[in-house]
Structure 1
Amino acid sequence: MAEDFRMENRLLLSYGHTLVEFADGCVDGGGLIPGVHEVGAVVPCPDCAGEHCVSSAMVVATAHNVTISEVEQQDEPGR
């Protein structure tokens, strides 16, 4: 499966994962699943060998052209 890249607000984004919750299944209730999925889809569970029906889904974008050029120091607690 080839990734679909798009430029949005000068960010090079791909949409290759979906954060899901399951209507049935494991105690954890969902997780991050590779691919783009919609509510009602049946997908493999990341925590067991079964498949579950998606009750809610949010496609997660990944930015590929972000560069960290400087890191600010954080104050330590208690100082």
Structure 2
Amino acid sequence: MAKNTMGTKLPRKLEQKMQIVGEQIKLARLRRNLSIAQVAERGTCSPLTVSRIEKGTPTVAIGIYLRVLYALQLEED
């Protein structure tokens, strides 16, 4: 079986894009005057996970990103 040579490290350009997405999610949360805990509850995840999303951590599952976007009413954006 072939070994995955990519590992868990993303290319720098993708890391930067993840950080931008996280910043945009944080701004959306702040514009709505919601706490991290409120978004976590609405998105059925932990506050730590919401914090990781806002920091652009690439290991958060895409499904959780989608739940947080839905909690912020951004699923159409």
TM range (shorter): under 0.3
More helix, by proportion:
2
More strand, by proportion:
1
Structure 1 length as normaliser, TM-score? Answer: 0.24
Structure 2 length as normaliser, TM-score? Answer: 0.24
